[in-house]
Chains A and B, each alone.
Chain A
Amino acid sequence: MKSLQKFTELFAEQFDESEDVVFEPTTIFKDIDEWDSMIALSIIAMVDDEFDKTINGDIIKNANTIEELYNKVIE
């Protein structure tokens, strides 16, 4: 299973226009200006590719930080 650090890197790769954002496990990702439903689809696809896990909209909606989402992905 990939580490939280790797997940954070993969998470950050889904953003194109947030060079000034420092992505940390504690980052509240919905506060990032670029965050929207399209990025959310990229995250779902990335988790499917990299973790072989299908996450639904509720999992993303209920997570605040990157780490909280990671914990759901590896459950």
Chain B
Amino acid sequence: MATFEISGVLVEGIVTAVPKNSIDNLNDPHIEREQGEKVLKTTGIRYRRLANDTTTASDLCYVAAVNLLKQFQTFKGDIEILVFVSQTPDYILPATAPILQHKLGLASHVAAFDMNMGCSGYVYGLSTVTSILSTSMNPNAKALLLVGDTVSKLCTPSDSATYPLFGDAGSATLISKSKEGKFIFDLNSDGGGCDAIKVKKGGFRTTNENNMLNSNTTKPSLYLNGMDVFSFGISKVPKSIKSFLTFVDKEVSDFDYFIFHQANMFMNEKIRKKLKIESEKVPYSLHNFANTSSTTIPLTITTQLNEVTNKNNKVFCCGFGVGLSWASVILDLNKDIYILNIEIDE
């Protein structure tokens, strides 16, 4: 495991943005009622927020960022890093991060780049921005982490293995250099499992006739091997978390919350029970928002941690899935953190 500690950086605020359009799996013409009930029973997912045809992940992140930066106006000029984490970017090229830098009116001295990560992307993104930020020569430097996906656009209604499971969301997290604050990361990968969650088309590995650049072909679509992902989730994830906790000499009781990637409640409950974590420490947002890929962790923080601003919290986050990739972080969410979830009326 790649484990590292970064001190002197603190989360100032997290804002998430979801489309107002909420689809009920129990009342969707593309999903049989019985199938919707099974999905609800097994995964815990009922509602999905869907972006319209013209709204991208970066649009959702943009709205989140605007609302976050409103709270920190004086800090805008100190933003030095902007990272956009997504697997549904605006274009193959250019990267989306510089587009967001410009759209947000940030200075050109911002280092802006994209990261192509999904379920583990929020933690990977945090590791990258905090690493760079901690080495900044500006004592007031800030980083803006924009994490979002519109995976629903990769799911066809006829595919019952993916269509009922994914929603769209974006997020913005502001991180500052600070005297307090510490992150400890544990990052992992296993590309041997790359076929378990895959969109083949749209890249350059596929042959020309299958490439999305050829307009005659069908749109890229998501393949999900639910059984393999489930096996991975219930075996690798709890083992990895146990090793990490042992390595850093921490116990489950040291944390106020465990925020897990939200793909399947049945899987997460297996993980929770294996780690012997009390249920009240493990919040879920997937009932209302489904699997929003890279955004599940910040969305769970903004929508489920109602009392997070009452006191300082020690939080353990773990994202796991596409890659395969899994990543954990131990961080502090202080009581003066700004958190908000907003609905976008497109």
- Chain A contacts to B: CB under 8 angstroms: 36-38, 40-41, 44-45, 48, 54-58, 60
Decide yes or no: A44 and B38 within 8 Å by CB, A37-B161, A57-B225 being known contacts. Answer: no
Complex Cα–Cα for A56 and B228 (A): 5
> Once the chains bind, are A56 and B227 in contact (CB under 8 Å)?
yes
> Once the chains bind, are B227 and A38 in contact (CB under 8 Å)?
no
Complex Cα–Cα for A56 and B230 (A): 8
Closest residue on chain B to residue A61 by CB atoms: B227
Closest residue on chain A to residue B227 by CB atoms: A57
> Once the chains bind, are A36 and B38 in contact (CB under 8 Å)?
yes
Shortest C-beta distance, B266 to chain A (Å), equals 6
Complex Cα–Cα for A6 and B231 (A): 22
> Once the chains bind, are A57 and B228 in contact (CB under 8 Å)?
yes
Task: Point out the residues of chain A lying under 8 angstroms from B227, CB to CB.
Answer: 37, 40-41, 44, 56-57, 60
Complex Cα–Cα for A16 and B168 (A): 33
Complex Cα–Cα for A41 and B231 (A): 8
Task: Point out the residues of chain B lying under 8 angstroms from A41, CB to CB.
Answer: 42, 226-227, 230, 264, 266-267
Known contacts A36-B38, A41-B267, A45-B266; 14 additional CB pairs below 8 A are A38-B38, A38-B41, A38-B42, A40-B227, A41-B226, A41-B266, A44-B231, A44-B234, A56-B227, A56-B228, A57-B225, A57-B226, A57-B231, A58-B228
Task: Point out the residues of chain A lying under 8 angstroms from B267, CB to CB.
Answer: 41
Partner of A48, one of B161, B226, B264, B270: B270
> Once the chains bind, are B228 and A54 in contact (CB under 8 Å)?
no
Number of A-B contacts (CB under 8 A): 42
Which of A41, A54, A58 neighbours the largest number of chain B CB atoms within 10 Å of its CB?
A41
Q: Is B235 an interface residue (CB 8 A)?
A: yes
B window 24-67: CB within 8 A of A: 38-39, 41-42
Complex Cα–Cα for A56 and B39 (A): 20
Partner of B231, one of A36, A37, A38, A55: A55
Shortest C-beta distance, B210 to chain A (Å), equals 24
Complex Cα–Cα for A36 and B160 (A): 11
Shortest C-beta distance, B234 to chain A (Å), equals 6
Task: Point out the residues of chain B lying under 8 angstroms from A54, CB to CB.
Answer: 231, 234-235
Partner of A45, one of B41, B225, B226, B270: B270
Shortest C-beta distance, A5 to chain B (Å), equals 25
Task: Point out the residues of chain B lying under 8 angstroms from A55, CB to CB.
Answer: 231
Task: Point out the residues of chain B lying under 8 angstroms from A44, CB to CB.
Answer: 227, 230-231, 234
Closest residue on chain B to residue A53 by CB atoms: B235
Task: Point out the residues of chain B lying under 8 angstroms from A40, CB to CB.
Answer: 226-227
Task: Point out the residues of chain A lying under 8 angstroms from B161, CB to CB.
Answer: 37
